[in-house]
Structure 1
Amino acid sequence: MPGRSFNDLSSDIVVPAFVVDEVTGAANGLAGALDALGATVIAGAQDLSGLHAGKLLIADMGLTNLLPEVKADATVVFSADRSEIGLGLLIGGASGRFPRPAAAIAAGPWPLADEVRVLWNKLAPQTPLLRSVNTIEQVYLTVKNYEKVPARLNAVQLAQARRVVASEVDASLLLDNAHPIGREDIVTPLMFEHRLLEQARRVNKHIVLPEGTEERILRAAHRLAEQKICRLTLLGDPAAIGQLAAELGLTIDGIQLIDPQTSQLREQFAAHYAELRAKKGVTLEQARERVADVSYFGTMMVLEGLADGMVSGSVNTTAHTIRPALEVIKTKPGVSVVSSVFLMCLADRVLVFGDCAVNPNPTPDQVADIAISSAATAKQFGIEPKVAMLSYSTGTSGTGPDVEQTIEATRLVRQRAPGLIVDGPLQYDAAVDAAVARTKLPDSPVAGQATVLIFPDLQTGNNTYKAVQRSAGALAIGPVLQGLNKPVNDLSRGALVADIVNTVAITAIQAGLE
């Protein structure tokens, strides 16, 4: 019954609602996961509509043990460098002794032998073989999650939905006398991501992506440009980037492409870099060679004002991303250390975890700087900072050198940022759980309501963020680097396309607040 308001049915419902015809054919299951992973169908059936993952089978065993486990509704995930798994699935199916799976996914950054693809098309043309550069674990978690979420609409279906809403929904009921309902402090991961993209779109900054020939980067760039989130430059051979985009069916119109090896900017950057690093003995010839590297070239673009920020790390190491920034962009005045935070999107709120990626054993002085920087980052993204300095002790319940370091770091934060709401030492449960806080530290201005959680060392921080991410199903956005004069952010080498999009949006927002 399209277009009929629920207000017609019941006076008890105060929120206008409409029932519209179902938009069919949306992508979930394997099709949705394919999009999220930036994966491609490389052999077999190309149409994934209506195909679900069924039983996910990780091929971490030999063929003798694997083939008896394969069922007709199963999706087999195997490492791309194990061609014998792909060939074994084909031979097992062709022999008639074992069923062919519903689909197979070759995962990981390693090349898959072309013979597997060729034979797959001949022996299993009805079974899709997918290819993803993500790890087996990431593929497993993404496919598993997509079996649980509502379908995603493609462009045609979105257009259909808009037409239905325009023709069937009385917008005046939604817009007239509008007022907020529900709890204003609830922020879901979807709400937070939407806010990020909207905020980035408003500031309209220019971000450089040095790893322009990497497939996930290219897919993210396509999405960012299509949604007009920011302006972009991709580094790499323009011909190679264009060819890969064409193969993937991606549009990169409006995205600037620069090859550091041949760019006229190389000489300008080399001269400036040599000048900045002269005291370190860097010659002009060495500088020419160094700025031809994509990470250095991208960093110099940011330094020279030709880009507002940089995002890298999908194939390069964290050190390779950060080192050039430390050499030429340097830290903000008054900041002793570059650090990082993760924005942890839980079911109903967003927490800021720092430092979980950069500094292994910070001193109390550095922990204080990390806390102040993390509070500033929280504010940038609309999170009111209430800072918990974490330890294995709450208040005066414990003693020891580690607790004393947290007490000293807390004192330094209060001294340097007297307007900041901070308390410590606090245990994690006392920091975030109001019931525990009432028992352990009832008079604390932070306990039970902390939004920024500062860990005493990298080992604690990194393991905690991963535990919360995996066990609580939290969306972890980051690491977001802080303390640099201009925004440069690092990606996990296993980053999904959505992770890259979020990180670029964050970088644009940081640039807009400089």
Structure 2
Amino acid sequence: MDLLQDIITRAKANKQRIVLPEGTEERTLRAADKLLADGVASIILIGNKTEISQLAASYGLKNIDLATIVDPLNHEKKEAYADLLFQLRQKKGMTPEKAAVLVENPLYLGCLMIKAGDADGEIAGAQNTTGDVLRPALQIVKTAPGISCVSGAFLMFLKDKSYGDNGLLVFADCAVMPNPTAAELAQIAVSTAQTTRDIVGADPKVAMLSFSTKGSASHEMVDKVVEATRLAKEMAPDLKIDGELQADAAIVDVVAAQKAPGSEIAGKANVLVFPTLEVGNIAYKLVQRLAGAQAVGPILQGIAAPVNDLSRGCSVDDIYKMVAIAANQAIGLKASAK
């Protein structure tokens, strides 16, 4: 996968500080060791230093001493982070006492480090549920400006290079929002375009998918996609986006010429935005299994800094790739903020 290597190369060239809250988990430690050996990112592990050192030795890991290790129970910024959490959440009922307890939770600590400017992104989920990973992210890091919903994109690497961007398509939302409104769907489209720029380095061409192409069917579900397309254009006037389009019209030139003549996106899309979570989730799994595509994700988007959720069945390689992806997200966010 040349693109994955490009992602890793870009991360190496501009090292970001990525925090791994599950610092005593075996796959996380093995991934951290490889990331540190390869110089992909500056790794922050949350956990007891003695325990991490003993585990690293037992696994035969040689590079863990290059990581920054933060003990959630005892570190120099513990009081400052607890105060930050109290300040952020006091209107929601947070007390200094509750903050003092929560700051010892590695998932809360990781997000507080990001909020305080001491880390650039986080990867977790090998041991924790998506809800547990997202909750502190939304409470502390919060959503990006102009965005109110978090969504999940997948990079789909296809064997057939004639589709998308040399065989790469970005699918969303496949992970978070069950039935987005038109406004939320527009946000998902804009967020996925940003993900495509930051991680893939490609010019996003966004297709808003439906079972209708340009009025070929009439239904309230089609109306939602049409409205979402209009709203996305308002949010990002320079964005290359079109809809509503059927999937074949979005990615096949011949079909596009018949169904959507004159569209600058139809037949050329590299970003596919699905109308609901069930459609997106089913689609990515079918493409993965039937077309033999490699699916990388979910990449969480819409958060003000990269916080990505792993499957609890993830591999060491999955964690390695997601750290490189989070690093690219952080680089892109910093560039767009300038």
Q: TM-score, normalised to structure 1's length?
A: 0.62
**Structure-2 residue corresponding to 1:395:** 214
Output the amino acid matched with 2:11.
A
Q: Which has the higher contact order (CA 8 A, sep 6+)?
A: 2
Tell me how far apart the structure 1 counterparts of residues 258 and 196 of structure 2 sit (CA, whole Å).
Answer: 27
Aligned-residue RMSD, C-alpha: 1.2
Q: Does 1:368 align with 2:195?
A: no
Tell me how far apart the structure 2 counterparts of residues 383 and 471 of structure 1 sit (CA, whole Å).
Answer: 26
- Structure 1 residues not aligned, in runs of 5+: 1-189
Secondary structure in 2 matching 1:311? strand
- Structure 2 residues not aligned, in runs of 5+: 162-166
Q: CA deviation at 1:336?
A: 2.2
Superimposed CA distance per residue, residues 172-209 of structure 1 (whole angstroms, 9 cap, x where no aligned partner): xxxxxxxxxxxxxxxxxx10110010010011111100
Secondary structure in 2 matching 1:425? strand
Secondary structure in 2 matching 1:492? coil
What pairs with 1:28-427 in structure 2 (closer than 5 Å)?
190-251=1-62, 252-347=64-159, 348=161, 349-380=167-198, 381-427=200-246
Superimposed CA distance per residue, residues 424-479 of structure 1 (whole angstroms, 9 cap, x where no aligned partner): 11111221122222232232211111011101111111111111112212121111
Tell me how far apart the structure 2 counterparts of residues 342 and 400 of structure 1 sit (CA, whole Å).
Answer: 28
Q: CA deviation at 1:256?
A: 1.4
What pairs with 1:446-485 in structure 2 (closer than 5 Å)?
446-485=265-304
Superimposed CA distance per residue, residues 5-42 of structure 1 (whole angstroms, 9 cap, x where no aligned partner): xxxxxxxxxxxxxxxxxxxxxxxxxxxxxxxxxxxxxx
Tell me how far apart the structure 1 counterparts of residues 71 and 279 of structure 2 sit (CA, whole Å).
Answer: 41
Q: Identity across aligned pairs (percent)?
A: 48
- Compare 200-209 and 438-447 and name the one that shifted more: 438-447
Tell me how far apart the structure 1 counterparts of residues 290 and 51 of structure 2 sit (CA, whole Å).
Answer: 40
**Structure-2 residue corresponding to 1:496:** 315
Tell me how far apart the structure 1 counterparts of residues 285 and 124 of structure 2 sit (CA, whole Å).
Answer: 21
Superimposed CA distance per residue, residues 46-89 of structure 1 (whole angstroms, 9 cap, x where no aligned partner): xxxxxxxxxxxxxxxxxxxxxxxxxxxxxxxxxxxxxxxxxxxx
Output the amino acid matched with 2:143.
T
Q: CA deviation at 1:291?
A: 1.2
Tell me how far apart the structure 2 counterparts of residues 271 and 407 of structure 1 sit (CA, whole Å).
Answer: 46
Q: CA deviation at 1:330?
A: 1.1
Output the amino acid matched with 1:332.
A
Q: CA deviation at 1:266?
A: 1.9
Tell me how far apart the structure 2 counterparts of residues 433 and 496 of structure 1 sit (CA, whole Å).
Answer: 34
Q: Higher Cα Rg: structure 1 or 2?
A: 1
Tell me how far apart the structure 2 counterparts of residues 384 and 443 of structure 1 sit (CA, whole Å).
Answer: 19
Q: CA deviation at 1:214?
A: 1.0
Output the amino acid matched with 2:250.
A
Tell me how far apart the structure 2 counterparts of residues 271 and 374 of structure 1 sit (CA, whole Å).
Answer: 34
Q: TM-score, normalised to structure 2's length?
A: 0.93
Tell me how far apart the structure 1 counterparts of residues 220 and 294 of structure 2 sit (CA, whole Å).
Answer: 34
Q: 2:261 aligns with which of 434, 442, 462?
A: 442
Secondary structure in 2 matching 1:466? helix
Total equivalences in the alignment: 325
Output the amino acid matched with 1:230.
A
Q: CA deviation at 1:416?
A: 2.3
Superimposed CA distance per residue, residues 314-349 of structure 1 (whole angstroms, 9 cap, x where no aligned partner): 111111111111111111221121222111111222
**Structure-2 residue corresponding to 1:159:** none
Secondary structure in 2 matching 1:447? coil
User: If each structure's helix is expressed as a fraction of its own residues, which one has the higher value?
Assistant: 2
Tell me how far apart the structure 2 counterparts of residues 218 and 435 of structure 1 sit (CA, whole Å).
Answer: 49
Tell me how far apart the structure 2 counterparts of residues 343 and 453 of structure 1 sit (CA, whole Å).
Answer: 11
Secondary structure in 2 matching 1:384? coil
Q: CA deviation at 1:395?
A: 1.5
Output the amino acid matched with 1:343.
L
Tell me how far apart the structure 1 counterparts of residues 139 and 215 of structure 2 sit (CA, whole Å).
Answer: 42
Secondary structure in 2 matching 1:277? helix
Output the amino acid matched with 1:444.
S
Tell me how far apart the structure 1 counterparts of residues 92 and 5 of structure 2 sit (CA, whole Å).
Answer: 45
Tell me how far apart the structure 2 counterparts of residues 433 and 467 of structure 1 sit (CA, whole Å).
Answer: 18
Tell me how far apart the structure 1 counterparts of residues 257 and 317 of structure 2 sit (CA, whole Å).
Answer: 39
**Structure-1 residue corresponding to 2:164:** none
- Compare 209-218 and 441-450 and name the one that shifted more: 441-450
Output the amino acid matched with 2:184.
Q
Tell me how far apart the structure 1 counterparts of residues 157 and 60 of structure 2 sit (CA, whole Å).
Answer: 32
Q: CA deviation at 1:270?
A: 0.8
